[in-house]
Amino acid sequence: MNPVALITGATSAIGAAAALAFAEAGYSVALAARRVQILNSVAAEIEQRGGRALAVGADVTQVTDVDKVVSRTLARFGRLDVAFNNAGSGARPTPLADLSEKTFEHTMRVNVLGTFLCMRAEILAIVEHGGGAIVNMSSTAGLQGVAGLSPYCAGKYAIVGMSKAAALDYADKNVRINVVAPGPIATERIDKEQQQRIGQYVPVKRVGQPSEVAELVRWLCSPSAAFITGAVVPIDGGRLAGVPSFAAGS
């Protein structure tokens, strides 16, 4: 029987790339997101390539939706082995004192509550079938402050802490829980001109690709990463390594 992967936020550039990466590795893939039309197209592409896919429209902030995704995954594929909790949200850059409560609450609900609800349902299913792995989506903004992004930073920092605690809770149940922290990635929100401009400030002189994040997630869920749990892995082209050296005499 094929192993089974569940990906939330599967309509985003990174989520869709991860779904395709797991399918290419032989996984049956359950996909969850709110944009059902796009979700169905990702599932159709997987099946056109010979894979098995299930698309379930869902809002990760709603416990009934999350439970529905996991129950339908189990009904269709019979098990759950790995999950990538990629669904997230961010607001336009705004100084903290100018933020509304609504904006702050929405960002935290999607990033923190959504990740919590998904992990809670996924862990129970994974434990029942002998163990597996979960990867949660944070950001380099979950490892350092970013001006104007207080709610986003708060949510992504919270995901790191919650994941580390959960990794300790379930290490002896054969459930590994890790975090990826991407830097600038070429998603649908960044056009080519912006990508080139941002890339100038990345040590490797480019932004990352969704497929590169997807491959990291897939590897973290693989047997090759069997001794890794509670880890946070940046994928940022070296941005968190430090600052470039200053020119002599400057």
Q: What is the model's pLDDT at position 192?
A: 85
**Residue with more model confidence, 235 or 190:** 235
Contacts of 195 (CB under 8 A, 6+ apart): 184, 186, 206, 207
**Phi then psi for 225, rounded to 5 degrees?**
-105, 25
Question: Is 170 labeled as catalytic in the residue annotation?
Answer: no
Q: How far apart are CA 32 and CA 85, in angstroms?
A: 10
Q: What percent of the chain clears pLDDT 90, i.e. is strictly above it?
A: 92
Q: What is the model's pLDDT at position 244?
A: 73
Per-residue pLDDT of 160-213, as tens digits, reads 999 999 999 999 999 999 999 999 999 877 788 889 999 999 999 999 999 999
For the entire predicted model, the pTM comes to 0.95
Q: What is the model's pLDDT at position 209?
A: 97
Average pLDDT across the chain, whole number:
95
Q: What is the model's pLDDT at position 190?
A: 79
Q: What is the model's pLDDT at position 187?
A: 84
Does pLDDT of 130 surpass 60? yes
Q: What is the model's pLDDT at position 246?
A: 61
Does pLDDT of 250 surpass 50? no
Size (the chain), residues = 250
Contacts of 200 (CB under 8 A, 6+ apart): none
- Set 27, 152, 157, 170: catalytic member: 152
> Strands of 175-182's sheet, edge to edge?
53-57, 28-33, 4-8, 82-85, 132-137, 175-182, 232-235
Contact 121, 177 (CB under 8 A): no
Does pLDDT of 249 surpass 50? no
